[in-house]
Structure 1
């Protein structure tokens, strides 16, 4: 029996085409930029591939919601859940972003209803919101009493000529989710080891009739192999230790979190682990098609393969110009029902999104430089300092923002330099409040050291905080832990270890987000406005006569 799995991950509510091109190899052997994404086209691609094989399951590896564009997040990601319903998703693992608004809101997305658990109003368009028509799988997310928050596993059965084959799915998020979500979002929850959880659940799935075992996990890696290359070349990342402890009974691992696209026949890495590993990048630009050939007598998988399908639907405009359709790759039609859904929500949000919010001198990118700084990261940090520097607002002298909280490049209109509210919303979609607190110079040094030595922040994968104007420092990754930060300065004067400084951060960091626990030590804490409102006010200083200049000069120096 031929069984098809269609998988994707890290959709992040990108209902409209995200303006992303996928680099692929064309027939001539040259690299080609292929425009990709958009929920209606993703639904079209799923429908096209489902029509090729009636034995198909559609699954995701998490982060379907959260950190979403305005057209979804302004409505608490209800439209994304509704789009996934229309696509016919069978099972969806939870990612860390599913917990952004707390477990009660996650349960509302699953079960439906209009109960309010956040600052935003639910059921603005859908009255009532019916919830996901597929199970969120969260096998390793546990309540205080040890029970699962959500369903952990599921089985889908396929029948042909009297034979019946069951495919069992285990869905999990990464166990370090509490380090990536504000504490209130995961209050009362714990996250068990991923490999231990999957291995423990396989016998129960077998007892339910599962002949094939598939793990949907929101953890991932990186690879240097090409888009359709399953050689596992350069495979690295936090998923590897999990894979090496997974039972060899697992047939397929569909992963996510790193926003990378890869295919990997993992036997090439570890011959004792003969599963297929996949990830479909981000934002619905790719759909991974896994083909399984199952012998109905032995009920074993005899062959498995995978390929990446580029979700090409329409030409896009990018920062470097228009990306046309590439006819040598499939072009998918838009699903009518999903198109109508997206149009409804777009129409509701369009007037607010289109409002001009200021004028920039050029585009601000999230691309990191040598020291991990980003032009847009500096701009956001500057806006936070702008909103909090006066005494009435906290008297901030320095501002820090985490790079993961900045979610989209800021590209003004090429002719006028105008940026819209919708663009600024896409940059800061989380709705964090600004917080100003007092820290000593010694604490500032310790928190900066945590960029390289705290949880998932390591020397090989540092998490560089973006800093506001006036503050500067250097770092040397070849130095010993705790001694990598040097020459901290504020307005040219050395930071004094015993002196107290007022620091502006977002509420996410103030509770220790991204493993920066030192931020929880702040004194004389004062709350402030939304970070988005601060950015809107700051960018609003730019006018047609005097556009806002971009912070291009480096503030952090890498010394090694």
Structure 2
């Protein structure tokens, strides 16, 4: 809200509201949140109620509840390990998320408040098998039942390509056969997939040929009394760099700040004064446990907030899987909420927009947010439970098939000091051994795997590994690609682990997991020369820069994803089978499997 608007509305505020606003501002300035400031808000509501009862003018302000989630990633069941709790409190699970949303809406309704439910991207993609086996149709159905109304697209919404994302919105079934590639669209013939009832938003995703957005750039929620809230939905501009190239072919992704700012006058021309951005990009608080504050927050969302038009009243963010609740200054040095609800349905952000009833604008000082843990001590939602039970029965034959055994309780993705991991070695070995990538007699001699694509440790049931276990590790259904790279290109590739977007400014280096290749890197060396000269060996022999080598990786990296453009310079590319199939087949062929030493990458000088 502009300074002029505040001056115009200030004279109409009740004394009780002013007092409450002061208390809230002090609480937020001290790093507090809704829980600390709630008493002031409740006092305000009581003052307003008594004023109306006394026959005096109606309150100058009212509240609108905005409930938000992000980065759900198809986690219909509670995630395991650290992804299934918040600071040690068990959290998440669609049956509990649905209940918490219902209870929060009911509480708002009891106070006479309107409510709207939104999301900030990555609702699907990188999903557990229960959802992924059916192209994430179960997750869309579950979110429909939870009352979601609008969501920005995230990068993982493009995992199966933008055409498949359009189907997620509009519905329909894929002719993929019954369980082909361990997937099955519309498995219940009596209930075809109807698509998302909520609106996907993609303000900064354009078709290159038409310059039209993939989905609507914004949506306007109009309440019964005529009040309006506009929601602008965007994914991060860097999406093409972190998804498969084929999935975004023909699309252009534009700058988040410029895109949102250009839409502000459009919304205002439609009578919208309250504007919220749903942004699939985020930040990193210095204290990752402080989910209801944001001490020392860094990351892209900080700069984006600083550049956004002051007319934008709140930013609901995602992508980084962090929980935070911030009040950051906008260009006019006025407070603006910036929030994120962690991931996997473990938190729900409740925003209470305080709206000036005369102007329709948001009173920032009295606008509050609270990240609420989705605890599992509530009654599970029956409709969601029935939906999950149906798909668990349908997925069981695929999920429970034993594909091999391991001789240890698990094979971990936890890296050593060189950033090499036992599970990374297993996956790279599986890729190198996969016969589907051999063409013209050319057999790969080295393999590379991105660590971000290894989503969980490989677990077992008393040593038995199922397809479900394997899929939890590699849920993306990427294709393997073999290609020719020169020694010079491979050397450049290894340096890209420590430079560019993976350089010192990144949260951590992005060291590829390898097979068939060994080398040493020096943490103290400058970017561009961290790989120790002469240390690179392929097949036990020193790398020769002018020699061409056949290597294998997944199609995501093949396109230059994760900041590895060296892969995009490779030649004679050949697409093989799915990475998950190579992984499963390797475990079957090496049954039982014993983890090997992490001695392929070393740290030295």
Of Structure 1 and Structure 2, the greater helix share is in 2
* Global fold match (TM > 0.5): yes
Query: What is the match of residue 163 of structure 2?
Result: 104
CA distance 1:403–1:226, shift in 2 (3 Å): closer
Is contact 2:273-2:359 (8 Å) kept? no
Query: What is the match of residue 300 of structure 1?
Result: 361
Kindly state the Cα deviation for residue 196 of structure 1 after the two structures are TM-superposed: 0.7
Q: Work out whether 1:343 is the aligned partner of 2:398.
A: no
Q: Work out whether 1:366 is the aligned partner of 2:413.
A: yes
Query: What is the match of residue 431 of structure 1?
Result: 477
1:395 to 407, 420, 443: 443
Q: Work out whether 1:52 is the aligned partner of 2:107.
A: yes
CA distance in 1, matches of 2:597, 2:92: 31
Is contact 2:483-2:573 (8 Å) kept? yes
> Which entry has the higher C-alpha Rg, 1 or 2?
2
1:529-556 Cα shifts (integer Å, max 9, x gaps): 221111112222454xxx3111342422
CA distance 1:520–1:298, shift in 2 (3 Å): closer
CA distance in 1, matches of 2:239, 2:142: 25
Q: Work out whether 1:418 is the aligned partner of 2:489.
A: no
Kindly state the Cα deviation for residue 459 of structure 1 after the two structures are TM-superposed: 2.5
1:496-515 Cα shifts (integer Å, max 9, x gaps): 21222221111222222223
Is contact 1:20-1:36 (8 Å) kept? no
Is contact 1:164-1:296 (8 Å) kept? no
CA distance 1:262–1:485, shift in 2 (3 Å): same
CA distance in 2, matches of 1:381, 1:465: 13
CA distance 1:99–1:22, shift in 2 (3 Å): closer
Q: Work out whether 1:91 is the aligned partner of 2:91.
A: no
Is contact 1:13-1:80 (8 Å) kept? yes
Kindly state the Cα deviation for residue 494 of structure 1 after the two structures are TM-superposed: 2.2
Query: What is the match of residue 38 of structure 2?
Result: none
Is contact 2:521-2:602 (8 Å) kept? yes
Is contact 1:13-1:73 (8 Å) kept? yes
Classify the secondary structure of the residue corresponding to 1:483: coil
Is contact 1:9-1:62 (8 Å) kept? yes
| Aligned pairs (5 A) from 1:137-286 | 137-144=201-208, 145-159=210-224, 163-225=225-287, 227=289, 231-267=293-329, 272=333, 274-286=335-347
Kindly state the Cα deviation for residue 228 of structure 1 after the two structures are TM-superposed: 5.1
Query: What is the match of residue 467 of structure 1?
Result: 513
1:247-302 Cα shifts (integer Å, max 9, x gaps): 111211111111111111113x9772521111111111111112222231343333
Kindly state the Cα deviation for residue 230 of structure 1 after the two structures are TM-superposed: 5.1
Is contact 1:165-1:211 (8 Å) kept? no
CA distance in 2, matches of 1:536, 1:95: 29
CA distance in 2, matches of 1:340, 1:236: 41
Query: What is the match of residue 352 of structure 1?
Result: 398
Query: What is the match of residue 28 of structure 1?
Result: none
Kindly state the Cα deviation for residue 479 of structure 1 after the two structures are TM-superposed: 3.4
CA RMSD of aligned residues (A): 2.5
1:498 to 527, 533, 546: 546
Is contact 2:231-2:276 (8 Å) kept? yes
TM-score of the two chains, using structure 2 as the length reference? 0.82
1:450-481 Cα shifts (integer Å, max 9, x gaps): 22334x33223255243334422222354344
CA distance in 2, matches of 1:125, 1:20: 32
Query: What is the match of residue 559 of structure 2?
Result: 511
Of Structure 1 and Structure 2, the greater strand share is in 1
Kindly state the Cα deviation for residue 434 of structure 1 after the two structures are TM-superposed: 1.6
Query: What is the match of residue 577 of structure 2?
Result: 529
